[in-house]
Amino acid sequence: MRRTLKSAMLLTAGLTAMAVAHPHVFVDATIIAVFDQSGFTGLRNLWTFDEMYSAAMLASADADGDGKISEKEAPQIKDAVLGPLATSNYYNYVVVGTEFLPAREIRNFKATMKNGKLTLDFTVAFSVPAKQDYTMITLAVSDPTNYIQITADMEEADVTAPDELDVDFFADNLKGLTLFRAFRSEIQGLYLRFKK
């Protein structure tokens, strides 16, 4: 009985620690939903990291010591930062109906240093064809584990789309959407509908 109680106390302590996990990396993110004539093709992410993480990444990748990230050095940053996130969809979550879509690839990756902060510019590719009737999708950019605190103000999100598509969008919280129940309550989603 005593061993069971001790095990239960340890399990409770462990779960409590996980529940109040605090972030170790901070990112300010700007999101742009990207469309072409075929429909929704991806999410462009502009991530600006905190100074401490930026300094560590620069120190590990800046082979020539010039304090910048060259084209030659950028792949190391991409592998170090985004490589481990591939299994988590690069923290880009796109839902159509009740289905999370898998990311296809990363496109147009760029890494720069500005004012002591690392900024990544990359597009996570998805594919949702446009139809004659509206297709509804919900987007969120977040780390559900809260190791990386991604602040993505969806009120500042934007859309690029050709004139042939009719696209409407608005930002709102994800409250009540059970697919997102692992997300923190303050996370906003971007809701889009589009048709030909």
Kindly report, residue by residue over 39-82, the tens digit of the pLDDT.
999 999 999 999 999 999 999 999 999 999 999 999 999 999 99
Look at the block and give the residue holding tokens 């996980």: 18
| Confidence bin at 21 (pLDDT 50/70/90) | low
Instruction: Tell me what pLDDT residue 176 has.
Output: 85
Query: What would the pLDDT profile of 118-159 be if each residue is shown by its tens digit?
Result: 999 999 999 999 999 999 999 999 999 889 999 999 999 999
Q: Where are the domains of the chain?
A: 23-195
Backbone φ and ψ for 139, nearest 5 degrees, come out as -120, 145
The band of 185, judged by pLDDT with boundaries at 50, 70 and 90, is confident
CATH fold for domain 23-195:
Acetylcholine Binding Protein; Chain: A, (2.70.170)
Instruction: Give the bridge partners for 121, in sequence order.
Output: 46, 110
* 170: enclosing H helix or E strand: strand 166-173
